[in-house]
Chain A
Amino acid sequence: MKLLVYKAGIWPKKCNLKGRTHIKATLTTFLSRTSLYWVVVLLSGALLSAPALVCAQPASRFESIAQEQAEKAKTLKPPVPDKAELLLKKAEDLFLVDPSGFFPYFDSVYQGGGLTAGAGYRKFFGDNSLWDVKGLYSVLNYKLIEGRIVSRDHWDKRIRFGTRVGWRDATEVSYYGIGMETNKDNRTNFRFQETYAEGFGELRVRPWLPIRSTVGFEQWNTLEGKGDEPSIETQHTPATAPGLGADIGYVHSRISAGIDWRTSPGYTRRGGLYQATLHDYRDGGGLYSFQKLDGEVIQHIPLLRETWVLAARGRVETTLNDSDVIPYFMLPSLGSGSTLRGYSSYRFRDRHSMLFNAEFRWLPTVGLDMALFYDAGKVTSRRSDLDFHNLKSDVGIGARFHGPMATPLRIDLAVSNEGWRLVFSGGPIF
């Protein structure tokens, strides 16, 4: 019970609870042993004399306050954080600070893997260098284990470099065939296991001018697909699924350059990214070598003091040489929570792809953005077919829970001509 307390004010004080409890106990005993007459008489007496009995009245205001302070002095205790505060502090250490030690890890093994979680161990060395080992596991039995060494913030935070090695296993990746006219009921699955090792570096001559380069080796082994759908080899041949049955090792070189003036890749309300990335996949046997160029333009336009944000992305992935054979699992694709949200993962694959996302975002409160969105895109076998005809599209609504620099949770509900899809993601769409 909380008492309203009037301290130095002119209103009456309340007596302490200890005194009341004592009287209550006395009266209870009394009632059980004495006649009604005496109960009434004595209670009336108590009523009149209670103030004197219970409250030792101070002689002055000063004394009155001094009494309270003396009373409190008897029950002092050190300030101790309560359980909730301790719990929150632990969570802060775990998620916001960057200490050496174990940490929870939320990411994706590969698109379509379902709910995924994991953990890692991190150890810093020097000021800004660390190594870590982490693992992920998804409800569809997708697995990833990765170790890396990263050194960052060199040359006034302009240079970052590192290396990583890892292995992942995606058990039921979907394949519907090539092109836009495939049937959604003709889904097949394949499984792949990728072992990779790479080194990477990033230079920002200016904070908004990133140049990134990666060189690494990737070994792709494909296996019989798991899941309810038939495995790919039962429905397709190398003619409809190039590279079917092949295990391929690539030396993958990648270089990207662009202008990035977003406040953060993880969350932004203004700025843009205009970036081109060149991939060179070199197969040891030469049969499956290819080059690919990705172009991406992202723009965020805040309106009325960021009451709304118009956000748009255009992305093109194109294979450079028409004669190159690209294995089916490396083809540019559309369909997923980060491309065409109304379609299942890897719904469309071909040698070239084009994607357009537009969002009308509004900000109901700090930490929560809502969005109405429209996605459209297509895949084609010829670059010249990358136009605005016969696009696959969807619309939807989403909620994003974010901090100033990151979006830990994005929930999108999209609808396309193939039905409804609910997307949970641990990052922004763009």
Chain B
Amino acid sequence: MRIFLNRKTTILALTLATITLASPSLMTAAKFYSDDPLLTAPETQNASGVTPWKIDLFYDLLSNQFTKPGLPPGSRAGNVNTIDEVPDSSWFTNRILAHPLRIEELVRGPLTSDGPAPGQLTIIRAKSEGAAPGFTVRDSAGTTWFVAFDPKSNPEAATGALVVAMRVFWALGYNQAEFYISELTRERLQIDPVATFQPPSGKLRPMTMKDIDPVLARAAQKPGGAYRIVASRLLPGKILGGFKYFGTRPDDPNDTVPHEQRRELRGLQVFGAWTNLVDVKALNTMDTLITENGQSRVRHYLLDVGSTFGIGANGPHDWTDGYENLFDKDKTLKRMVTLGFYLQPWQTVDYEDNPAVGRFEGDEFDPLTWKTRVPAAALLQALDDDTFWAARRVMAFTDEMIRTLVRTGQYSDPAAEKLISDVLIKRRDKIGQAYFTRINPLVNFSLDGSGILRFENAAEKAGIVKTHGTWSAAWSILNNNTGASTPLGETRGEGGQIAIPRNMPATPGAYLVAAVQGVNPPYAAWAKPAQATFRRTPDGWKLVGLERLTRLDTYEGRVPASRSPVNPAGTSGE
């Protein structure tokens, strides 16, 4: 039998159909799985089919500067586990903050040896990419090294920055190449008989020492004639080329989270601000194909973190570095029409003059306005929970750690070492102040058998506020299968402790949610709840969920990590 539907019923039917098709929430099963929270990200597929690629430098810069690549901003990080942390993966390994890092561990960092073996270094290749002078050598033990020098204008600056930053970023969790400070003289170099050189004519021919002299001529030389170098070991595995700060690698089956939604990449907005890592681009990254336990997968490196502190490959950072992107439409127009009198902070900020440091300071530094040289999608999409996550790691570096790390730069001028350390400490503190006050700062939630919810205030621990403050918790029971919640009431507490209500469930598998927010907090953002979810297990309550941003905060970009100053309580308009 066939009937015709009138308009009203057609709309009804279509509405129902639309709801069915479009409502993902109705298709959702359990909110938490039994294995939540994951501490290691699964990488289940064999990635042996990946092929090397070369990302064009200019295309990468132009597309990032003049387009908005990647998914629309406003989405929460896609690779965090249910307790808002980044699981270990081929991108990232939890180190500082995840467990106590000993000073020796920090100093060792990613290093596995003592650097190039003594004896002759055989040049096997000229440097093909990057602005810094350098070449590729093989040491007497047969190991391949990339050699880079300091620019003439800034002895010790680039090499020192590189080895310090390598350890900093390793401690933060990134895969790092091994960089060693060493020394060489021209006499220590020889040319591999099969090494070739490409002159301006473009025709490859056998390399001679005359081809190396222009490289050495650009490098800073020590009084005795030797050159201070930084030697980086060839990465293990097959070299695949860099990764972009948006999208995924189309040939890597395990690369399913768009890079702009990876929290460890978003966190570079904070880590970069701290260390002044301005040159964030695909060319400074590297993917390699490694095989472990019989399975091939892609490992991702932040390869070149040398453009940090006050120095770049060829000299001090540009004046605008850290303050402006290469192109800023509004500022460009304003400067055009004001004959350049639309002045910006970078034009007047005061730098201590030290060639081994370059342009690096902490007094005028503002983490909320700090910028990479060219925008990077992942950094631009950082939300307040991403920057909070990153800021916690920065704040985990103690003064002693920082000074020890900077000492590994082997600066001959103690003033240079002190300057970098002092500035890093200042910038670290500013990062804590900026990012711990933009979002609910409670961490380390636990619910013990005595019925006490315990937590810490990261801002108090960092000295940003003197007292822990008063916090209230709104309790509810979560039906993990339907997502429905049943309110249980509200309790309050001080000193990082709040008693739980009496009528809380005790059956294994039950889920209890505590939405904890500040009571008359000093910062408006602290009045928004951090929502901790616990699952009842035979051993007690286990933290399985933590959210600092509600979906309303993030969806459609309502609360991107805006660069506006933090409003104190009562003036935020919230």
Contact assessment for A2 and B339 in the assembled complex, using a CB-CB cutoff below 8 Å: no
Tell whether, in the assembled complex, residue B199 and residue A306 are in contact, meaning their CB atoms are under 8 Å apart: no
| Cβ distance A91 to chain B, nearest Cβ, rounded Å | 9
Give the complex CA separation of A126 and B56 in angstroms.
29
| Set of chain B residues within 8 Å of A366, measured between Cβ atoms | 320, 326-327
The residues in A between 59 and 117 inclusive whose CB is less than 8 angstroms from any CB of B are: 59-62, 64-66, 68-70, 72-73, 76-79, 81, 84-85, 88-89, 92, 97-100
Q: A8, B38: Cβ atoms under 8 Å?
A: yes
B336/A364 in contact, CB under 8 A: yes
Query: Which one, A36, A79, A124, contacts B249 given CB within 8 A?
Result: A79
Q: How far is the CA of A367 from the CA of B336 in the complex (A)?
A: 13
Q: Are B29 and A57 in contact (CB under 8 A)?
A: yes
Complex CA–CA separation, A126 to B17 (angstroms):
73
Given A51-B27, A305-B346, decide whether A81 and B56 contact each other with a Cβ distance below 8 A: yes
Kindly supply a per-residue 1/0 record for chain B positions 44-84, scoring 1 wherever the CB is within 8 Å of any chain A CB and 0 otherwise.
Answer: 11000101010010110011000000011001111111100
* B290 beta carbon closer than 8 Å to chain A: no
* Least Cβ–Cβ distance between B95 and chain A, in angstroms: 20
Return chain B residues, CB-CB under 8 Å to A125.
201
8 Å CB interface, B520-539 against A: none
A77 touching B250, Cβ below 8 Å: yes
Interchain CA distance A70-B42 in the complex, whole Å? 11
Q: Could you say which residues of chain A place their CB within 8 Å of the CB of B56?
A: 81, 85, 88-89, 92
**Interface of chain A: mostly helix, strand, loop or mixed:** mixed
Q: Knowing A64-B33, A307-B343 touch, does A8 contact B76 (C-beta < 8 A)?
A: no
A40: interface (CB < 8 Å) = yes
Say whether B24 contacts A12, CB under 8 Å.
Answer: yes
Q: What B residues does A88 contact at CB under 8 A? A: 56, 58-59, 62
Q: How far is the CA of A50 from the CA of B29 in the complex (A)?
A: 11
The answer, among B1, B20, B331, for a CB contact under 8 Å with A23, is: B20
Say which one of A41-49, A211-219, A319-327, A346-354 lies at the interface with B: A41-49
A69 touches B27 (CB 8 A): no
Given A81-B56, A126-B201, decide whether A69 and B254 contact each other with a Cβ distance below 8 A.
yes
Is B332's beta carbon under 8 Å from chain A? yes
- In the bound complex, residues from chain A placing their C-beta under 8 Å from that of B31 are 10, 12
Closest chain A CB from B276 CB (angstroms): 17
Instruction: Count residues of B near A (Cβ-Cβ below 8 Å).
Output: 92
List, in ascending order, chain B residues with CB within 8 A of A57's CB: 29-30
What number of residue pairs across chains A and B have CB atoms under 8 A from each other?
A: 236
- In the complex, the answer to whether A72 meets B49 with C-beta atoms within 8 Å is no
B33 close to A73 (CB less than 8 A): no
* Interface check A27, CB cutoff 8 A: yes
Picked from B3, B20, B213, B257, the residue with its CB within 8 Å of the CB of A7 is B257
Give Cα A66 to B40, complex, Å.
13
Residues of B contacting A144 in the complex (Cβ-Cβ under 8 angstroms): none
| A55, CB-defined interface residue at 8 Å | yes
Interface residue? B203 (CB, 8 A): yes
Q: Count how many chain A residues have C-beta atoms less than 8 Å from C-beta atoms of the other chain.
A: 86
Q: Is A285 an interface residue (CB 8 A)?
A: no
Which residues of chain A have C-beta atoms less than 8 A from B76's C-beta?
6, 9, 11
A43 touches B13 (CB 8 A): yes
A223 proximal to B (CB < 8 A): no
Residues of A within 8 Å of B80, CB to CB, are 8-9
Q: Is the CB of B202 within 8 A of A362?
A: no
The answer to whether B340 and A362 have CB atoms under 8 Å apart is yes
Cβ-closest chain B residue relative to A128 = B200
Contact between A76 and B253 (Cβ–Cβ < 8 Å)?
A: yes
| Chain A residues within CB distance 8 Å of chain B | 2, 4-15, 20, 23-24, 27, 31-36, 39-40, 43-44, 46-47, 50-51, 54-55, 57-62, 64-66, 68-70, 72-73, 76-79, 81, 84-85, 88-89, 92, 97-100, 124-130, 153, 156-157, 304-308, 360, 362-368, 370, 372
Given contacts A9-B76, A72-B255, A98-B202, 15 further A-B contacts (CB under 8 A): A7-B79, A8-B80, A9-B80, A10-B545, A31-B13, A35-B3, A36-B13, A40-B12, A51-B29, A61-B35, A76-B251, A84-B63, A127-B201, A128-B199, A362-B335
9 residue pairs, one from A and one from B, having the closest CB atoms: A362-B340, A124-B201, A127-B199, A12-B28, A73-B253, A51-B27, A364-B335, A365-B332, A7-B78
User: Could you name 27 residue pairs across A and B whose Cβ atoms are closer than 8 Å?
Assistant: A4-B71, A6-B76, A7-B261, A8-B80, A8-B81, A8-B257, A9-B77, A9-B80, A11-B551, A12-B28, A15-B27, A31-B5, A40-B12, A47-B20, A50-B26, A59-B34, A61-B35, A61-B38, A72-B45, A73-B45, A78-B51, A98-B202, A156-B213, A362-B335, A364-B333, A364-B336, A366-B320
Interface residues of B (CB under 8 A from A): 1-3, 5, 9-10, 12-13, 16-17, 19-22, 24-36, 38, 41-45, 49, 51, 53, 56, 58-59, 62-63, 71-72, 75-82, 87, 199-203, 205, 213-214, 217, 249-258, 261, 319-320, 326-328, 331-333, 335-336, 339-340, 343, 346-348, 545, 547, 551, 555
